[in-house]
Structure 1
Amino acid sequence: MISATELSGLLSGRIGSLTITPTGDVRIDDPPPGAILPGSFNPLHEGHLGMQRAVVVMTGQPVHFELTVRNADKGELSLLEINRRVAQFAGRHTVILAAAPLFVQKARLYPGRAFVMGYDTALRLVTPAYYGSEAAMLAAFAAIAAANCRFFVAGRQIDGRFYTLADLTLPVAYAQLFTPIPEDLFRRDISSTQLRERSASQGGTVS
């Protein structure tokens, strides 16, 4: 669990990242080696764990989770909500906390790392409108490439169709940064939203 002081440090930029080990130890600006799977983890589910396992198989390297405490679209999480989500990893996995919602910001925090994501996140990543212009998108990719970062992308079922990296239009100069996660290593056709809706319909809570 993290304190209000630690969260304030993240949000103000005094702290770049907080790493929480499975035993609850907290390290400041000391992210572990390996790939990083960012997300909101509301809840942590088998889709996240399946992507993690697939990239471990592909690379032979560990994959750690990153909870983004400041989301580009949804704003900042409260301390209570952050600690609720962090509790899902206790005794199981390392989770990194950071207030860097954009991948160009993550590349500065974690140079030389691979990022793991689903198709829907990758779609936003290669859509110029999310940056304001194509030039801004290409500048972001130039910075990501300069930091020696890359991406592993898992397929996702949307409206009955399974979409993969092959369905995306990638910036030609940076297409080599992207690697597909093969469907035979990972496929799970349910989202965090669907899990929350299922829990609500059953009168339960998702943690």
Structure 2
Amino acid sequence: MAQDRQAETAPDTGAEVARHAAKMARIKAARDRMMATKTGEKGLIIVHTGPGKGKSSSGFGMILRAVAHGMPCAVVQFIKGAWDTGERRLLTTHFANLCQFHAMGEGFTWETQDRDRDIAAARAGWEKAKELIRDPAIRLVLLDEINIALRYDYLDLTEVLEFLAEEKPPLTHVVLTGRNAKPELIDLADLVTEMTMVKHPFRAGVKAQPGVEF
């Protein structure tokens, strides 16, 4: 066993080093050829969906990237408006000059228990979203949990799709998060990621915790 471990950790011979270098050189050349063909630039429609954790977290990660590049951006929250989240604190306290933050929701649908109120909040959020997306100075807009509003028909799906297809400025990125993204939205999008839930502490009785969930 000791000899086996020594064999596993022994330094590569000169021939092995040369083979590895040649292999990596071939991969790099192929990669460079592929990258040379990717010269297009456009504002993307990006969807983060699925039952797993990380949809909003990924969207806010993109917002922070935009901030780091000095790109004006904006967030419209359709559901979690009443939550005191870490993302909201950070952006409104330190980066308000680069990122507008609009919390339009009033909580999850089972908390409000008022469909008309939920629809009104979703409509107000969508009107603000359209205003922000139309502004060519804003480079990235995060529509957090809009997929939930679309799932429950609080917003008209056709209206949302037509606006994104016809009125979004060419270089503006729009990120739409939430479970159960509509198939039509997935078809329209340029980039779609589905988060898969493998294991979650909530099922073991662990509550949502600051810094992880909000």
Report the TM-score when normalising by structure 2.
0.35
- The answer to which structure has the higher strand fraction is 1
- The answer to which structure has the higher helix fraction is 2
Bigger RCO (CA 8 Å, 6+ sep): 2
Rg comparison, structure with higher value: 2
Report the TM-score when normalising by structure 1.
0.36
